[in-house]
Amino acid sequence: MSERSASQSPPPEGERLPASEDEHTAPAMESDAALARRAQILATEHWGLLAARSTAQSEVLTRITIFLTLVSAGLVTIGLLGQASGFSGWFGGASIAILAFLSLIGFMTQVRVMNVSEEDMMYVVAMNRLRGAYVDLDPHVEEIFLASTYDDQAGMKLTYSFLRRRSVSILLGSSVMLLIVVDSCVTGLLVGSAIVAGGGTFEWAVGLGIGVGAALAAGFMTFGGVGFRSAWKHYVPRRRTPAGAPGSRR
């Protein structure tokens, strides 16, 4: 065996080789260029999320406007048809067809609005995570942010309301709740009209119409609640809000 091959042979078991010069060197701080490049990447992602959120909100507001316009036009049309037909004969079939169309469009719009609401929450959580990354780059900026730097559920709620905590008012004043009420009323009118057209009594029409509308509203609210809990169940935050953190920034 040559002298060179002997020098390259592995050391006996249990014996540790001396540390190299690189291993004795402490890890160097990142350069300003690397930090600037990372900040630029984060800012680009932040702008992309803002653009996607704005596009989704604009699209869903257009859908809501279309649906409410159709509901208004449909109810006016039903009134005009009633005057033309004396609320008899073919009026029942025509009103049921119009209300069925409005109920279908309302259901589709409701599903889209609920999906966009979840997407909006997704964008808020993603931007919270990016703010956390900004804080990692420069911890001094954390006290400047009103929005949360934590991408958990508590951080999401803080970003939606900087100055005070809000709970049920967010739901009651949301576009989702507005559409639930309108769509439930339209579906209730459809059921009541079908009962009256089929020879049922007015009392039965009113009772079943209210019952079906209430059941539809409860179903949509349950579906939204299940989706909200499922989203947070499968999501793993990068930064969690510390215990005892204030509900708003000062």
Q: What is the pLDDT averaged over residues 185-209?
A: 91
Residue 100, φ and ψ in degrees, nearest 5: -65, -40
> Which of 206, 52, 42 has the alpha carbon at shortest distance from 129?
42
Residue 56 DSSP label: H
User: How many whole angstroms separate alpha carbon 192 and alpha carbon 212?
Assistant: 9
List of residues 6+ apart from 41 with CB closer than 8 A: none
Q: Which two tokens stand for residue 99?
A: 């209300």
Confidence class of residue 4 from pLDDT cuts 50, 70 and 90?
very low
Q: What is the pLDDT averaged over residues 219-224?
A: 92
> Which of 155, 86, 99 has the alpha carbon at shortest distance from 125?
155
Q: What is the pLDDT averaged over residues 17-40?
A: 63
pLDDT of 100 higher than 50: yes
> Which of 182, 186, 158 has the alpha carbon at shortest distance from 170?
158
Q: What is the pLDDT averaged over residues 79-104?
A: 91
User: How many whole angstroms separate alpha carbon 25 and alpha carbon 171?
Assistant: 57
pLDDT of 12 higher than 60: no
- Give strand ranges (E) for 128-222: none
Q: What is the pLDDT averaged over residues 10-35?
A: 53
pLDDT of 13 higher than 70: no
Q: Give the model's pLDDT for residue 163.
A: 81
Which pLDDT tens digit goes with each residue over 147-171? Answer: 999 999 989 988 888 888 887 888 8
pLDDT averaged over the chain? Answer: 84
User: How many whole angstroms separate alpha carbon 205 and alpha carbon 211?
Assistant: 10
pLDDT above 70: percentage of residues in the chain: 86
User: How many whole angstroms separate alpha carbon 185 and alpha carbon 103?
Assistant: 9
What angle, rounded to 10 degrees, do the helices at 32-85 and 175-197 form? 20
Q: Which two tokens stand for residue 241?
A: 């809000």
> What Rg, from alpha-carbon coordinates, does the chain have?
30
User: How many whole angstroms separate alpha carbon 63 and alpha carbon 68?
Assistant: 9
Which pLDDT tens digit goes with each residue over 102-143? Answer: 999 999 999 999 999 999 999 999 999 999 999 998 888 888
- Give strand ranges (E) for the chain: none
pLDDT of 14 higher than 70: no
Q: Give the model's pLDDT for residue 200.
A: 83
User: How many whole angstroms separate alpha carbon 149 and alpha carbon 145?
Assistant: 8
pLDDT of 8 higher than 70: no
Burial 216-230 (b: 16+ CB within 10 A, else e): bbeebeeebeeeeee
